[in-house]
A = this chain, B = another copy of it.
Amino acid sequence: MPRLPVAERRELLLEAALRVVAAQGIQGATTRAIVAEAGVSLASFHYAFASRDELIAELVNSVIASEELALTRLELRGGSMRDTLREGLMHYFDVLRENPMREKAMFELTQYAMRSPELEPLAKMQYERYYALAEQALDVAAASTGLRWSKPAAELATVLVVLTDGLTIGWLVNRDDAAAHAIIDFAADSLSALAEAA
């Protein structure tokens, strides 16, 4: 095995750990499974991390930090608010369909974090990030359509997160694309009804 600086070894193990969680769940993310996925010896693991718990904490952290990507780069084609929201939600749905297991891993990591007094603040932080992201998306949509929101964007952001969370869970269970599209239409219709002339 190549000699790596600790920081790189940690990074390598974190990426492997996320793949294992996605494929087998938190339950299956044993140190052995992770080192096998990373192609690293068990002892090297414990050279890089003091314990499995430390790796999981780091994993939650890193996953939060990288969550932005899904929604930020999105080119809006303009049009009505309804169409703009629909387009954004469809984009989210595409991301979900592309990598369902990663999204499932997110949920599992959040729930796991909520069970640990030490990690629980990270779960809250993850949702703060979601809300901020959603609010930003709503701001962009308002700017793009030339409309403004009739309620505080922060409040609508929590609604948007509720909708995407519910959509995600339901789709992960049923894999019903048609039902997902119906949800997206409902979300776009309902939210766009809360936009008004600037």
A170-B165 Cα distance, complex, nearest whole Å: 9
Q: Are A170 and B127 CB-contacts (below 8 A) given A27-B27, A158-B182, A193-B193? A: yes
* A162 CB-CB contact with B under 8 Å: yes
Stretch of A34-42, A73-81, A105-113, A138-146 with 4 or more beta carbons under 8 angstroms from chain B? A105-113
Q: Which of A25, A158, A189, A193 has the most CB of B within 10 A?
A: A158
Partner of A158, one of B108, B114, B170, B193: B170
Q: Which of A24, A108, A190, A193 has the most CB of B within 10 A?
A: A190
| Residue interface bits A151-187, CB-to-B below 8 A is 1, else 0 | 0000100110111111101101110000100110010
**Minimum CB–CB distance for A64 against chain B, Å:** 13
Judging by beta carbons under 8 Å apart, are B159 and A124 in contact?
no
Q: Are A170 and B174 CB-contacts (below 8 A) given A182-B155, A193-B190? A: no
